[in-house]
Amino acid sequence: MNKLLQALALCRRAGKLSLGFDPAREAAESGKAALLICSAGLSDNTKKEIRFLSSQTGLPLLEVPATLDELWYILGKRAGVLAVTDSSLARKVEEAAALEPER
């Protein structure tokens, strides 16, 4: 999961990451988002809402095995829903997630 967290940290440093459900939803609805991400440990209701948002906007949804605390440590903010707002960085995150072994 190290490569995935590094890719997310790169997005954060580049200013291309919306942290939290509401900012991610705004980015998705305004057409700025390229990828939606949700972490492990989210409530079923939040997962349902982010899946619905993904289907409504046509954006890919990546469910990462990282916990809220792991994301908090890497990103500096406790958020379980993220949106990557740059298409090339979104591809980098998806590639890093594909390389990660299942937990």
Residue extents of the structural domains in the chain? 2-99
| pLDDT for 16 | 96
**Joined tokens for residue 13:** 């440093």
Phi, psi (degrees; rounded to nearest 5) at 62: -115, 120
Taking the chain (103 residues) in consecutive chunks of 10 residues, what is each chunk's mean pLDDT?
A: 90 96 96 95 93 96 92 93 96 90 59
| pLDDT for 101 | 66
| pLDDT for 102 | 60
CA separation for the pair 49, 100 (Å, rounded):
25
| pLDDT for 41 | 85
**Joined tokens for residue 93:** 């995150």
| pLDDT for 1 | 66
CATH superfamily label, 2-99: Ribosomal protein L30/S12 (3.30.1330.30)
Per-residue pLDDT tens over the stretch 44-55: 999 999 999 999
**Joined tokens for residue 51:** 């899946």
Local structure of 18: helix, strand or coil: strand
